[in-house]
Structures are given as structure tokens and as C-alpha cells.
Amino acid sequence: MHPSEQLPDKQLAKRSFERAAAGYDRAAVLQREVAERLLQRLDLMKIEPRRILDLGCGTGGCIPALMRRYRGAEVVALDIAQPMLLRAQQRGRWLRKPRCVCADAERLPLAAGSFDLLFSNLMLQWCVDIEAVFRELRRVLRPGGLLLFTSFGPDTLHELRTSWAQVDGYAHVNAFLDMHDVGDALVKTRFADPVMDSERLTLTYGDARQLMRELKQIGAHNVTSGRPRGLTGKSQLQRLLQAYEHFRRAGVLPASYEIVNGHAWRGEDSATMAVPLDRTRRA
């Protein structure tokens, strides 16, 4: 399969999350757990932000915690799916609601140097060009500002990917960047002191159909460019279910997730000094 076919189809992902907004919170068990762990990492960060961007906020589940932690800060919620933002804007209290922006993370309609903290939980894996995203994030961060994020790593849903590989040659599971590639992209885009680590979380299911229904409920089903275009036939589905049964342990089927954690700072731009050409010649 050509590498481009493993990239997410952004418009398909956008439509998928738009449709998932109404039932997202009921199914997003993993997303809430990862969000809670990411919020706890702020305990280790010496920062008192005045403006916070919740990037890829979804329904805004992290907004109340960010507002409680930083009581004087303005929180801006940004997502590519407007139905998600309609729920996010209800977060907070009557006199303190988030400002909402519907936009693509690769082209932010935000002023340079306008945020002190960029917080992003499980959004970056849906972007096509990670370096373009990081360039935009560095642009909107103030010097000394912090980027804190999670993403999915390549071992995510490896049981489902392995099972589908026994059925056909199409991409049925989204592909995700390795932790080291994400770290390299931070360095290339001139973020300072990047720190990366990963952890594994496993959810269990009675059968593979339950897992696939949940992925669809949260909008995280297959949105790769190389996905099969037709409907999955009964025989294909049956072969998938049989293949997945090889992973059954203690009566349940596992679904593994590799969670990539990262943070980096927006350092000061190095100063440059212009020297007139005539002075250079005299020297």
C-alpha cells in the first residue's frame, strides 16, 4: 500500500466526528481516561497561563478542569466539527464560558503569540501534516508557552489491524505516527526541550462487533485514504470475527491502545543582527 493511502482523509474525518457528536460522551471511555492523565501532567508544569487553547476539544470534556485549575485564564475551544463545538460551548459556568472556534489545526485563524498553553487530547493523529500543525502551534504560542498533548501510536488497535490483514489487503484501521517521529517533528519546527513518552492501555470487549460499534460512535472508525470504498460483506465480516477470536483471553477480547504523551516549550526566537554591506566591505 502506498504511504499516502495510510493518511487520514480529513474531510471524511470531519464528517465522521460531526455525526458522532450526539453520542460521543457515552462511548468515549478511553478518551476520558487519557484526558484525566493528561490533566494530571499539568501538576508538573510551572505555568500560569492567561489564555489557553483546547485544540481538538471535541465536546469540551476537559474545559471544566482547565477552568478550575486556572481560574483567571480565558479558555478557547477549537475543533474541526461544529456539532462538537455546540456541546463544548455549554461547558463552564454562566459567567465563564469558553470561546469556540471551528477551524483546521493546520491553518489556525488565530493571532501569533496569543496563547500561553496549548492543550490537546487525542487530536493530532487525525492531522495529515504533523509538521504543518506544529508550525502553526508554535506560531500562536507566546515565548515561554507550553504545548501539552496526547496522540495515538502505531501499536494502537493492533489486534484489529492484524485480524483485518487476514481478510484483505485494504487499510481498515487508521495508521498512527511513531512517538519518535512526533518528537522529530517538534525539533524540526523549533520547539524547545521536547519530552516524549508512551504508555499502553487495554479495553476489553465481549466480541469484535462491540469494539467496531464503539469506534463508530466516537467517530474514530476507518478514515484512511486507502480504505475500501464498498460495504463490508457478511463473509468478510465473519472472517474478521473469526480472526479476532485468536486474541481472546479469559473470556474477553482485548483492544490495545498506545498513548503517546508529549510536551514542549516555545522558546525565544534567536536574535539576528543586520550588518550594512558597506561596513562588511570596509572590515
* Residue 230, in any domain of the structure: no
User: Is the model more confident about 283 or about 26?
Assistant: 26
**If you average pLDDT over residues 19-38, what whole number do you get?**
96
CATH number at residue 45: 3.40.50.150
Counting the structural domains of the chain, the total is 1
Whole-structure pTM value? 0.89
* Residue 233, in any domain of the structure: no
Tens digit of each residue's pLDDT (9 = 90 or more) over 127-145: 999 999 999 999 999 999 9
pLDDT number for residue 228:
61
Eight-state DSSP code of residue 193: E
Tens digit of each residue's pLDDT (9 = 90 or more) over 163-202: 999 998 777 888 899 999 999 999 999 999 999 999 999 9
Nearest Cα to 15, choosing from 78, 83, 77? Answer: 83
* Residue 214, in any domain of the structure: no
- Residue 87: give the domain boundaries: 3-154+174-201+258-269
* Residue 249, in any domain of the structure: no
Tens digit of each residue's pLDDT (9 = 90 or more) over 65-124: 999 999 999 999 999 999 999 999 999 888 899 999 999 999 999 999 999 999 999 999
Cell numbers standing for residue 25: 460522551
* Residue 232, in any domain of the structure: no
How far out from the chain centre does Cα 106 lie? 12
Nearest Cα to 189, choosing from 197, 198, 181, 200? Answer: 181
**If you average pLDDT over residues 132-159, what whole number do you get?**
97
* Residue 262, in any domain of the structure: yes
Tens digit of each residue's pLDDT (9 = 90 or more) over 225-272: 655 655 566 889 999 999 999 999 999 999 999 999 999 999 987 643
